């Protein structure tokens, strides 16, 4: 997939092609997309723009995005948030936290995939809340569900801000830092989506978990002797590896008002591989006792009062 030609750095976003009078108010507000200049992010940008949405792209300097920032550094992440806020006048209809790398450098992988997404989500949350009704979609990966031996402790360490410990726990198998970064991201979504700050502020937050997609990232993985062999051997129940444009509509849907009631979910979009391998491992009944359930629902005082009666 060829990359988008560069536009002048820092140039103002283009106006939406949709006539303002015909569009509901939220449509006039922009959507920010990280990793907007290549692969899946570019396909999402193109899909949204074709629907008349204004996109504020975020990508590495020199790639031609509206906001040029290196999400692997704290300063770059601050610049990205400020750049988006400047261009959206403080109100955002949607955010796609999509930028990602699959590098053997664990720290770089954690910085871009986990901190690069979480800092955007946290920094832009007030702008999403200001829209009244908004959506945030995070590109996770089915690696969270199908990678062998990913240690929960590594993801927990990353969530707790201990990158070095996370790298140590992740181990040395190929792709382990990537899977750990995405598992931490998935857990972050589950932890926050239904809280007052997100759902309570009218923001539907979800993750999409793709399988292999034909992008420059996949080409790099295919060129790696070990990873390439594994990826090529993976079954494809649907018959073929996805093109970025095959998945862009799923993001557009999750950003739309029709998907408002989808909250805190991880939507696997891998053509059936996870379903083939994990089978009836999912859904799993919730292993909570009736007293535990009532405790959660009514609180300890109500349960004690019921017992006393
Ligand atoms: N391609 C796949 O097979 C696949 C599968 C599952 C999930 N994903 C996920 O999809 C997302 C998009 O990946 P892709 O396959 O389109 O890859 P890609 O390499 O084509 O695009 C990634 C984009 O992120 C940007 N980016 C990378 N590092 C950055 C940084 N430090 N700061 C700012 N931007 C940065 C790149 O410049 C690029 O535009 C990633 O999160 C990836 O993990 C991809």
Which CATH number goes with the domain that contains 230? 3.40.50.720
- Decide if 176 is inside a domain: yes
Cβ–Cβ < 8 Å for 105, 170? no
Q: Which of 97, 101, 123, 122 is nearest to 255 (CA)?
A: 97
- CB proximity list for 45: less than 8 A, separation 6 or greater: 4, 33, 36, 55, 57
- Decide if 164 is inside a domain: yes
- The residue annotated as part of the active site, out of 110, 114, 169, 178, is 178
Point out the ligand 1 atom lying closest to the alpha carbon of residue 99. 24
95-136: pLDDT as tens digits: 999 999 999 999 999 999 999 999 999 999 999 999 999 999
CA atoms within 13 A on the CB side of 68: 11
Nearest CA to ligand 1 atom 20: 39
The per-residue pLDDT for 20 is: 39
Nearest CA to ligand 1 atom 10: 139
The per-residue pLDDT for 172 is: 82
- Decide if 182 is inside a domain: yes
- Decide if 137 is inside a domain: yes
Q: Which of 309, 308, 306 is nearest to 295 (CA)?
A: 306
- Decide if 124 is inside a domain: yes
Please state the domain count of the chain: 1
- Decide if 295 is inside a domain: no
- Decide if 162 is inside a domain: yes
Residue 2's pLDDT band, with cuts at 50, 70 and 90, is very low
Region of poorest pLDDT, from 48-52, 242-246, 283-287 = 283-287
122-154 per-residue burial string, b: 16 or more CB within 10 A, e: under 16: ebbbebbbbbebbbbbbbbbbbbbbbeebbeeb
Segments forming the whole domain that contains residue 34: 20-271
Q: Is the pTM of this model over 0.95?
A: no
């Amino acid at each position: 997939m060829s990359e988008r030609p560069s536009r002048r750095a820092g140039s103002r976003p283009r106006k939406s092609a949709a006539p303002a009078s015909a569009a509901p108010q939220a449509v006039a507000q922009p959507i920010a997309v990280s990793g907007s200049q290549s692969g899946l992010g570019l396909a999402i940008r193109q899909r949204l723009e074709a629907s008349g949405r204004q996109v504020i792209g975020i990508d590495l300097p020199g790639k031609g995005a509206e906001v040029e920032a290196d999400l692997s550094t704290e300063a770059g992440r601050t610049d990205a948030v400020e750049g988006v806020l400047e261009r959206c006048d403080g109100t955002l209809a949607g955010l796609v936290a999509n930028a990602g790398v699959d590098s053997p450098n664990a720290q770089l992988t954690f910085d871009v995939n986990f901190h690069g997404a979480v800092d955007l989500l946290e920094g832009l949350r007030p702008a999403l809340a200001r829209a009244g009704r908004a959506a945030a979609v995070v590109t996770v990966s089915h690696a969270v569900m199908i990678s062998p031996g990913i240690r929960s402790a590594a993801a927990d360490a990353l969530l707790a801000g201990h990158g070095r410990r996370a790298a140590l726990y992740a181990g040395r198998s190929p792709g382990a830092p990537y899977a750990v970064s995405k598992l931490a991201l998935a857990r972050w979504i589950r932890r926050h989506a239904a809280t007052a700050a997100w759902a309570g502020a009218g923001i539907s937050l979800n993750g999409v978990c793709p399988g292999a997609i034909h992008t420059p990232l996949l080409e790099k993985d295919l060129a790696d002797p070990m990873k390439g062999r594994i990826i090529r051997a993976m079954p494809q129940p649907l018959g073929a590896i996805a093109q970025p444009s095959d998945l862009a509509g799923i993001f557009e849907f999750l950003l739309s008002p029709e998907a408002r009631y989808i909250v805190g979910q991880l939507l696997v979009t891998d053509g059936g591989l996870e379903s083939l391998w994990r089978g009836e491992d999912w859904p799993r009944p919730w292993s909570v006792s009736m007293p535990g359930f009532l405790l959660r629902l009514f609180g300890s005082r109500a349960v004690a009062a019921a017992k006393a009666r």
